């Protein structure tokens, strides 16, 4: 049984076994714990010389360690690998900028092809969701976060086994996490969900993080997400309608499940956009008051 570390491990022998994937997931979960606790111990060691917002509060140091050591680390990893493999998405990008570009209506390659780079992204993303699920329970984040991690992790597993929409995984579990990376950094400035007092201590960094998140969120989640979703949902619909496709019959539950998860998350993107504008207006009003 091989620990899947490099891309070659996903390439040489084709799709890895489930046991190898789970071994690698455990490895990454442990790595997230190590990164988070290493950062926490570092902050504790240097706490006397840190800003009072950290030096006087162990809770604040724990929160920062979680958001950076696990969340930012996990999101940065999959988004970097997604960007590294974004050439697989070139056809969708070309179609976005030119209506004359034709996308083959045959969905088989897009839904059933095994892409090693995507398999690696989905494996790490699944590990991140396991760690996130654990954190959400420990920190009492709420049922909506627990449900999100379970659904997102399930979609990642379906992308690997039996294998549905591998190419799409590069975007949804990879590139789109750019906006989440900025979000988990911005979350530190929230007095309720993040480090209490950090926004007052570093107002400039908060503004930069907020602007960066809005730009990344609109680009990744409001523009690119619905665009790529349209093609995936169309491919799923065509696969389900094709009575001669044996793979579609065998993977019907996963096709329907992934389509449902994607549709639900797409709707949430626009609801969150409305919340962003409301919160943005509130922040501007505070600045002008």
pLDDT in tens, 217-236: 889 988 999 999 999 999 99
Residue 267: what pLDDT?
80
Q: Which residues of the chain have pLDDT under 50?
A: none
Per-residue model confidence (pLDDT) at position 245? 92
- What pLDDT is recorded for position 102? 87
Determine the pLDDT at residue 284. Answer: 61
DSSP the chain: -----SHHHHHTTSSPPHHHHHHHHHHHHHHHHHHHHHHHHHHHHHGGGS-HHHHT-HHHHHHHHIIIIIIIHHHHHHHHHHHHTGGGGHHHHHHHH-TT----S--HHHHH---HHHHHHHHHHHHHHHHHHHHHHHTT--HHHHHHHHHHHHHHHHHHTT---HHHHHIIIIITHHHHHHHHHHGGG-TTTS-TTHHHH-HHHHHHHHHHHHHHHIIIIIIIHHHHHHHHHHHHHHHHH-TT-HHHHHTHHHHHHHHHHHHHHHHHHHHHHHHHHHHHHHHHHHHH-
């Amino acid at each position: 049984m091989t620990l899947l570390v490099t891309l070659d491990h996903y390439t040489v022998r084709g799709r890895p076994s489930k046991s190898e994937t789970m071994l690698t997931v455990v490895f990454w979960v442990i790595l997230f714990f190590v990164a988070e606790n290493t950062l926490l111990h570092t902050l504790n060691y240097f706490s006397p010389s840190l800003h009072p917002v950290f030096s006087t509060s162990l809770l604040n140091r724990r929160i920062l360690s979680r958001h950076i050591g696990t969340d930012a680390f996990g999101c940065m990893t999959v988004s970097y690998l997604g960007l590294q493999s974004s050439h697989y998405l070139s056809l969708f990008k070309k179609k976005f900028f030119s209506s004359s570009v034709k996308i083959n209506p045959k969905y088989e390659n897009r839904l059933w092809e095994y892409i090693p780079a995507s398999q690696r992204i989905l494996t790490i993303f699944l590990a991140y969701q396991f760690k996130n699920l654990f954190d959400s329970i420990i920190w009492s984040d709420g049922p909506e976060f627990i449900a999100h991690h379970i659904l997102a992790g399930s979609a990642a597993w379906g992308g690997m086994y039996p294998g549905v929409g591998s190419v799409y995984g590069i975007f949804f579990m990879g590139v789109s996490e750019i906006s989440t990376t900025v979000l988990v950094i911005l979350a530190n400035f929230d007095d309720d969900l993040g480090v209490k007092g950090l926004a007052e201590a570093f107002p400039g960094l908060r503004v930069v993080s907020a602007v960066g998140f809005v730009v990344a969120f609109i680009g990744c989640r409001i523009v690119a997400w619905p665009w790529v979703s349209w093609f995936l949902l169309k491919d799923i619909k065509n696969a389900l309608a094709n009575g001669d496709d044996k793979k579609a019959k065998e993977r019907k539950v996963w096709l329907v499940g992934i389509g449902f998860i994607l549709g639900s998350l797409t709707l949430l993107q626009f609801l969150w956009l409305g919340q962003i504008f409301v919160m943005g207006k509130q922040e501007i009003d505070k600045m002008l008051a």
